[in-house]
Structure 1
Amino acid sequence: MDDEFIKGLQQFQQHALGLQNMLTDMQSRMSQGGEGTDAQGAVTVRLAPDGLPESIMAASDWQRRQGPEAIGAAVGEAYGAAMSEQMAGWAQAFEDSDWQAKAEQLDGPIGKSGPASAPAAPPEIPERDLRYVVARPLDELAEDVLSAFDAVDRLEEAASEPAVVEGTCSGRYVTLVVTKGALRSCEVDRSWATGQSYLRLNQAFEEALGDARAKLGSAEAVAMEGLAGLRMDSLLDEALAVIRDPKRFID
């Protein structure tokens, strides 16, 4: 392999390692969650690291603080307060980490920043076993590759519009609308909520949240299954086999 190419890989590896260390340090400083309460103190929302609520808890005297018709909106308000607390924690983490100076050290041509160091060993690229690749005509392989690219493009378009799902409790008295990383809305049936204890309301919140997470996970799993079905590894092996020995695949 050409020495300049190896040197370029080493420099890229060092640059990527520096960026990874900076991001890891930032992540360790960031708050992994947040907690917020609506203005009346009727509902408290605690965030999970993925940005969705980890828990939604009504106060024991929630009916004195909020009317049944407003408890859904109170959940949204508490979620917004929790997100604000999380963002404030992130901003403080950026300030404490001196990220700008670290980013400037990584700025510029790869391999030109930071003190000189001993050259790193070239990254090892695993060899793929192509002995058992079944020969196919090039036109068939090209057609499958183009179809796979089209499918990937469709998956990327779908990913740009993340799934929105509804989670409900038994009886559908509480409905949470969520997407990846965010709670969109919360609706609570007013007539049902009237007279409900905080224990029953919290149980309904827990059921709806669990249902929403399960449905969101299923939607993401379907997308991953679609990607797995493209047989990208198999197509890569065939393409590499063609590059190594084109004569095998030419009639």
Structure 2
Amino acid sequence: MDTADLTTGWEPGVPAGDTIARRFVLAHVERMATTAARTGGRQKWVDGARMADLRSPYGYDNAVVATRPLAEAEWPGVVAAAAAFFPPERWWVVLSVFPTPDLAAHGLVRVGHPPLMLRPPGPTPSPAPGLDVRAVTDATTLADFGRVLVAAHGLAEAGAPAIADLALAASSHLRVGYADGVPVATAGASVHHGIVEVDWVATLAPARRRGFGAAITAAVLDVAPELPAVLLASDDGQGVYCRLGFLALVRVTMWERPGA
């Protein structure tokens, strides 16, 4: 059998739409780059990875994303480049849709293996009763978005994430859900490379188990219902996404370098 033309799907020049995983990786790095450009952040390419420092106290904003499978011998160089790129006080993460070697010897801490989930195009469920979903369009709705996101994820000591910036609200399609006039849920979505990438899904603890998490997620799916949607799920959120029609594709690998 002639194998000369077989591809892994990750060589330079392979179309973004080759696989859903490739779309996700390229969409994620494009979102990082757009966010960095609009908020005064920094970014850097190295062979096999892209880095963005959004100068955020929230580590998941400051990321190194593997853009192709990396051999075990390549990882030390990528981690060293990231350590030189990020200031010592910065909390940052490594995200790879490919298996990685144990990076603990290089100063990283394992975060886990969240599932990458896919929802095919299609209609979304009706909004949950009692939740008023609004687009983030001004300082007031942005402040509500930031407060809910920080409180729901226990980030009060870290500070506001990079997404809490009005310059990003339109391109990231941010939404806030209100119950009885009180902000209780958030979600957002970015559209790149033919997919809707969902992120920033959060519901305050007292408002959980009322369908609000599913409703706010469905609201951002409606940004482009004709496109497939992807997200990285937490263990707690996976069941909610399954009920919305998401399917778990593969578990990714995440490491972090806590700030000094």
TM-score between the two structures when normalised by the length of structure 2: 0.22
Higher helix share: 1
Q: Which is higher, the Rg of structure 1 or of structure 2?
A: 1
Higher strand share: 2
